[in-house]
Each structure stands twice: as structure tokens, then as C-alpha cells.
Amino acid sequence: MSDNLSITLRVRIGAGDAHYGGGLVPGAHILELFGDAATELTIRTDGDEGLLTGYSSVEFTAPVYAGDFLEVTGSIERRGRLRRTIAFEARKVIASRYEESVSSAEVLDSPQVVCRATGASVVPVAKAKAARRSG
């Protein structure tokens, strides 16, 4: 299995995801999406959901609001025996424009990076061995 496997999730941020005034979404919600990306990656590489154990870096670069659409990518950078180092990025591809009207939105000409992170995921020994035998 290639170490540079990458996946992309596209999600709409709903009103229920907002926590702060003006429909602002907490950064923790983006980290939850990164966790979903890590889960898909470890299922694809090892046949197991694995466990996202932590982040070595997280950088929030722009706000996210209810109604925005995000593309979330996860890419395996390094693959050890049990540990996968994953690079994450979330980009806003559609921005809500509720200040114009309650249903306004705009497709962005260029996706806007809203968060980058690097994290680690581990898989059970039995699954890592199985992946090594079949890959």
C-alpha cells in the first residue's frame, strides 16, 4: 500500500454545528472532521478504524460559519509498523452569505484554507500485520 494515500471528504457545515455568535463554528468541529478522514485512511490501509492519538501541530487560518462547505483532506505522510503520520487540510469551497439573505452563498474562485494539522493514528498489531502480509 502506498504511503501517500490521500482521501477527501466534502461536508456542509450546518446551523447545529455553530456554537458562537454570528454562526461561527468552533475549531474542534474541524478536528472532528480530521478524525473522520483519519478513520477512512486507516480503514483503507489496514482494514481497521485505528485510533487518532493526537496532533503534533494545528493551525487555524480562517473562520468557518454555518452554511459553509468544506473539503477536508487527509494524506498519509509516513507509515510505521503501527503508527500513521497524517497531514490534514480543510478548505472552504463555498461560503455562506447570510448577511445578504438567509439563503445566500457563494462558490469561491479559489478554495480558502481554514485549517492545517499533522496528526498520528495507530492501528492494532494484528491489523498492521495483516496489511503487511496482503500489501
What average pLDDT is seen over the chain? 91
Q: Say which residue the cell 510505521 belongs to.
A: 80
Mean local confidence (pLDDT), 23-40? 96
Tell me what the mean pLDDT of segment 13-30 comes to: 94
Name which of 133, 126, 98, 100 is nearest 1 in CA terms: 133
Q: Which residue has the higher pLDDT, 11 or 128?
A: 11
Enumerate residues 6+ apart whose C-beta is below 8 A from 55: 31, 117, 118, 119, 120
The pLDDT of residue 2 = 46
Spatial CA neighbour of 75 closest among 29, 34, 20, 24: 34
Q: Say what the pLDDT of residue 129 is.
A: 58
Q: Confidence class of residue 135 from pLDDT cuts 50, 70 and 90?
A: very low
Cα atoms found within 13 Å of the Cα of residue 73, Cβ hemisphere only = 15
C-alpha cell at 68: 459553509
CB 59 within 8 A of CB 79: no
The domain limits of the chain are: 6-134
Q: Which CATH class is domain 6-134?
A: alpha beta
Q: What is the pLDDT of residues 51-99, one digit of tens each?
A: 999 999 999 999 999 999 999 999 999 999 899 999 999 999 999 998 8
Q: How many helices (H) and strands (E) does the chain have?
A: 2, 5
Q: What is the pLDDT, as a whole number, of residue 121?
A: 96
